[in-house]
């Protein structure tokens, strides 16, 4: 039977007892705290709220669970968009993290 030795597959920590233990503990926490189900439930709420955004501003929603992204109409000026988002988020007390490509 072919077995990979620690470090032989190009990963510094892959296959090590400590790395495996950390991975098992992470999975245990995900299961015990129902984090996947919670992300799905909250993600549905997030999508429902994001669907309320004007279609002339937001052209597409992408995501799953709480990992979400919006495609913004290129004709919208960045300053106008940010002002609208900031005002909306201050009202709803949420946080914004932006990324431009």
User: What are 67-78's pLDDT values in tens digits?
Assistant: 888 888 888 777
Residue 3 lies in a domain: no
The whole-angstrom distance between residue 19's C-alpha and the CA centroid of its chain comes to 24
Residue 7 lies in a domain: no
Residue 4 lies in a domain: no
The predicted model scores a pTM of: 0.58
Residue 6 lies in a domain: no
Alpha-carbon distance of 51 to 59, in angstroms, equals 10
- Domain count along the chain: 1
Domain residues for 54?
13-101
* β-strand partners of 58: 72
Residues 27-39 pLDDT 10s: 999 999 999 999 9
């Amino acid at each position: 039977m072919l077995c990979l030795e620690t470090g032989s597959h190009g990963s510094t920590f892959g296959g090590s007892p400590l790395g495996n233990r950390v991975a098992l503990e992470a999975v245990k926490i995900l299961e015990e705290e129902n984090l996947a189900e919670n992300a799905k439930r909250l993600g549905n709420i997030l999508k429902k709220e994001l669907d309320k955004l004007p279609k002339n501003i937001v052209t597409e929603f992408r995501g799953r669970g709480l990992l979400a992204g919006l495609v913004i109409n290129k004709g919208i000026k960045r300053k106008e968009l940010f002002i609208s988002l900031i005002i909306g988020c201050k009202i709803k007390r949420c946080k914004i993290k932006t990324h431009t490509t």
